[in-house]
Chains A and B, each alone.
Chain A
Amino acid sequence: MQNPTWQESVYAALKAANVTMIGYVPDAGHAHLIKAAHADPDVQAVVLTTEEEGIALAAGAWLGGKRCAILMQSSGVGNCINMLSLPLNCRIPFLTLVTMRGEWGEFNPWQVPMGAATQPVLTAAGVHVRRADRPDEVAEMVGASAALAFDSQIPVAVLFSQRLIGAKVFVK
């Protein structure tokens, strides 16, 4: 049997943390997690129109006794800032996995400003930020971050670096 990919290990880490709801904005870097969530009868997968919806969805899930993680891209982090007052004020956990753009071999200059601002903006908004650069550290980091978020009831973001996920290749 083949060793699991790091993406499969990340999904397993979410399951081990008892995450049973996953909200997402479509993203190539999260494609495996999105597909796995939809294929999993024990997980509710919710497609969002914008990332801030996910913060409210996750807060509602927690109020109802479920754990929800939100998948987004760095460009979407900027859409979330005011809504982050919800988990912070209410001491509601928040876990988001953020694929990074605009930092490693980026082709599209429109991704660069928010990519560069992602970590400081999250930190300024009160979110604890972890960053994964290597395949062998990602799943453990997601598991530890889920424990931090749901057990200590704080907002946590795990950034998946662009070097990790691979720069998007544009071909004509």
Chain B
Amino acid sequence: MTMRNDGTLDRRVVVAELMRDPGDLLVVTGLGAATYDVGAAGDRPTNFYLWGAMGGAAMIGLGIALAQPTKRVLVVTGDGEQLMGMGALATTAAAGAKNLSIAVLDNARFGETGSQLSHTGLGADLAAVAAACGWQNVATARDMDEVAALRLRLRTESLFAVLSISAEEKIRHLPPRDGAYLADRFRRALGVVEA
């Protein structure tokens, strides 16, 4: 079996770069380490963290993007979370929201459950899957120069990006996990509480 090269990038450094000067970016995070990484980069009302609902991050991002066509939406998730919602790659591509981007932090592992190899460590290429599902713009990053270039593209294009990160585990940073609080503050920040 062909093993994929392991990434070397520090996930916290990668996410800190993606989230640098976020402006009014609307962010959805997949459960597990992606939620911790985005929280560690700085909590903000328009970060919507998932602590469950595995496989749902991209579709939540799509719902926000369709509802808020003038705002930019970024989904930050892990390879395992995206693998569970692989059909959403076809659904998001078919929906064609120009203001939605997805960044997959790919450590080729299920980090939250003991670092078992995931399918991306066993040959699956999520960027290729996204392209085959109809995503027009896909990219991968293996060094920080590439990550820095993708930061802007993720905010201007509809881009599906895979960021190849190290499997090193980080100290958990725990952002708020009360879903009703997270949803309410997100809607208040957008000014849509009465919608």
Given the contacts A21-B67, A46-B91, A90-B179, A63 and B187 also touching, CB distance less than 8 Å: yes
B163-195 interface code vs A (CB 8 A; 1 in, 0 out): 000000000000000011011101100111001
Contacts of A57 in B (CB 8 A): 59-60, 62-63, 91
* B192 shortest CB reach to chain A, Å: 3
Contacts of B55 in A (CB 8 A): 52, 56, 83
Asked if A41 CB lies within 8 Å of chain B CBs, one says no
Main SS of chain A's interface residues?
helix
Whether the pair A64, B88 counts as a contact (CB closer than 8 A) is no
Given the contacts A50-B87, A90-B182, A66 and B53 also touching, CB distance less than 8 Å: no
Complex: chain B residue closest to A61, CB-CB: B63
Asked if B40 CB lies within 8 Å of chain A CBs, one says no
**CA A4 to CA B56, docked complex, whole Å:** 37
Main SS of chain B's interface residues?
helix
Asked if B144 CB lies within 8 Å of chain A CBs, one says no
B14-32 interface code vs A (CB 8 A; 1 in, 0 out): 0000000000001010000
Contacts of A56 in B (CB 8 A): 53, 55-60, 63, 85, 88
**CA A92 to CA B180, docked complex, whole Å:** 8
**CA A67 to CA B67, docked complex, whole Å:** 9
Asked if B61 CB lies within 8 Å of chain A CBs, one says yes
Interface footprint category on B: 35 or more
Asked if A12 CB lies within 8 Å of chain B CBs, one says no
Asked if A109 CB lies within 8 Å of chain B CBs, one says no
B39-67 interface code vs A (CB 8 A; 1 in, 0 out): 00000000010101111111111111111
Going nearest first, the 6 A-B pairs with the smallest beta carbon separation are A60-B63, A64-B67, A65-B192, A49-B87, A56-B59, A56-B56
Given A53-B85, A62-B187, A64-B63, 14 other A-B contacts at CB below 8 A? A53-B88, A53-B91, A56-B55, A57-B60, A57-B91, A60-B65, A61-B64, A61-B66, A63-B63, A64-B65, A64-B67, A64-B190, A66-B66, A82-B52
28 A–B contacts, CB within 8 A, in A order: A53-B91, A56-B53, A56-B55, A56-B57, A56-B60, A57-B60, A59-B63, A59-B183, A60-B63, A60-B64, A60-B66, A61-B64, A63-B60, A63-B64, A63-B67, A63-B183, A63-B190, A64-B63, A64-B67, A66-B67, A67-B195, A82-B52, A82-B53, A85-B53, A86-B50, A86-B53, A91-B183, A91-B184
